[in-house]
């Protein structure tokens, strides 16, 4: 009874899969730790340098305006922080065209359900915070379903086009690989290069900052250090917000498709490694069986 129970227990917890899960877990932890080490080396010295520079500027500011004092400087910093949260430009009386107007509120709702969450705008009232929780609770699953459907539809169009060309051309695999490559390059150009040029023109960012913002947005990381259509000193065109919303929606579907392909690739590699291990154990077992048979004949 006990061996049967232990066998069912092992089958229930899928103990055979534990080594592969442990291997992936070690790779994951190592990847995160190595990334943290690299970020620490790349950014740590810059933060220390900026801290020292900020201290020097504060001392010079207090020497230039001695009547302000430390308390006045603290109040001024709090006022600037509150002004930026309200969409008020610190050097003028202009507000960003959309802090809690209909267009910007719609963009905020989109960042909630897509889990981008820049952090530049957020609800301050209790009612707004409660509604945000309820809105995200139902909106995030809805967004996942819709993006999944749109991504599959985009992939189906690509596959149908590949199947159509395969019937017309002899070299089917070459055509399929070529179509996938062309689709990837054209989509990357559409969702990264074109927005990069647009953001450089209207936001005044560099090419590196613009491409960084594109990936951080479409991957839903959303640090909030760069946010388009958010500068109160810039008069944006009316179509700018609509174009951004369309870019985010279709770009998220495309990038989710790429991430799913990457996950499939990693799972295929894991299955290949697991298959190699199983094959090796079977070979070793097949070698041990004849040896046991020979020993039995000798006895």
Distance CA 30, CA 214 (A): 27
Distance CA 209, CA 196 (A): 9
Would the pTM of this model clear 0.75, i.e. be above it? no
Contacts of 121 (CB under 8 A, 6+ apart): 87, 99, 100, 104, 108
Contacts of 126 (CB under 8 A, 6+ apart): none
By mean pLDDT, which of 33-47, 124-138, 164-178 is the weakest? Answer: 164-178
The rounded radius of gyration (Å) of the Cα atoms in the chain is 28
Contacts of 214 (CB under 8 A, 6+ apart): 191, 192, 195, 196, 199, 251
- Mean pLDDT, range 258-276, rounded to an integer: 69
Q: What is the structure's pLDDT at 288? A: 64
Two structure tokens written together for 177:
């690989």
Asked whether the predicted pLDDT for residue 183 surpasses 90, the reply is no
Three-state DSSP class for 88? Answer: strand
Q: Are 90 and 84 in contact (CB under 8 A)?
A: yes
Q: Tens digit of pLDDT for each residue in 211-247?
A: 999 999 988 888 888 988 887 778 888 788 888 888 9
Q: Tens digit of pLDDT for each residue in 59-96?
A: 888 888 888 777 877 887 787 777 666 666 666 655 55
- Band the pLDDT of 200: cuts 50, 70, 90: very high
Distance CA 162, CA 170 (A): 12
| Residue 234 backbone phi and psi in degrees, to 5 | -115, 135
Distance CA 60, CA 11 (A): 70
- Band the pLDDT of 2: cuts 50, 70, 90: very low
Instruction: Select the more confidently predicted residue: 228 or 265.
Output: 228
Q: Which helix (H) or strand (E) holds 280?
A: helix 239-298
Q: What is the structure's pLDDT at 203? A: 92
Asked whether the predicted pLDDT for residue 8 surpasses 60, the reply is no
Q: What is the structure's pLDDT at 189? A: 92
Q: How much of the chain, in percent, has pLDDT values that exceed 70? A: 77
Mean pLDDT of the chain: 78
Distance CA 184, CA 72 (A): 55
Asked whether the predicted pLDDT for residue 52 surpasses 80, the reply is yes
Contacts of 145 (CB under 8 A, 6+ apart): none
Q: What is the structure's pLDDT at 5? A: 46
- Mean pLDDT, range 253-261, rounded to an integer: 75
- Spatial CA neighbour of 62 closest among 71, 70, 52, 74: 70
Distance CA 95, CA 99 (A): 8
- Mean pLDDT, range 42-67, rounded to an integer: 85
Secondary structure (DSSP) of 198-237 = HHHHHH---HHHHHHHHHHHHTT---SSS-TT--TTS---
Two structure tokens written together for 226:
């760069």
């Amino acid at each position: 009874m006990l061996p049967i129970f232990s066998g069912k227990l092992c089958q229930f917890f899928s103990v055979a899969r534990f080594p592969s899960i442990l291997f992936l877990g070690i790779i994951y932890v190592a990847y995160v730790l190595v990334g943290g080490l690299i970020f620490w080396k790349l950014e740590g010295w810059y933060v220390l340098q900026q801290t020292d520079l900020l201290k020097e500027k504060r001392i010079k500011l207090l020497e230039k305006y001695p009547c302000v004092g430390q308390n006045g400087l603290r109040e001024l910093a709090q006022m600037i922080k509150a002004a930026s949260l309200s969409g008020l430009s610190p050097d003028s009386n202009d507000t960003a065209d959309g802090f809690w107007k209909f267009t910007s509120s719609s963009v905020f709702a989109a960042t909630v359900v897509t889990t981008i969450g820049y952090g530049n705008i957020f609800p301050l009232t209790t009612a707004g915070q409660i509604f945000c929780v309820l809105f995200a609770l139902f909106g995030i699953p809805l967004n996942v379903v819709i993006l999944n459907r749109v991504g599959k539809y985009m992939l189906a169009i690509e596959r149908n086009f590949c199947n159509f060309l395969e019937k017309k051309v002899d070299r089917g695999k070459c055509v399929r690989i070529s179509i996938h490559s062309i689709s990837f390059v054209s989509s990357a150009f559409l969702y990264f290069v074109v927005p990069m040029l647009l953001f450089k023109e209207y936001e005044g960012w560099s090419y590196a900052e613009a491409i960084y913002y594109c990936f951080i947005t479409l991957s839903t990381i959303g640090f909030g250090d760069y946010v388009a259509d958010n500068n109160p000193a810039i008069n944006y065109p009316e179509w700018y917000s609509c174009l951004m919303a369309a870019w985010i929606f279709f770009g998220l579907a495309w990038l989710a498709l790429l991430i799913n392909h990457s996950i499939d690739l990693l799972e295929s590699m894991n299955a290949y490694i697991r298959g190699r291990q199983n094959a090796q154990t079977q070979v070793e077992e097949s070698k041990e069986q004849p040896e046991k048979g020979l020993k039995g004949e000798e006895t």
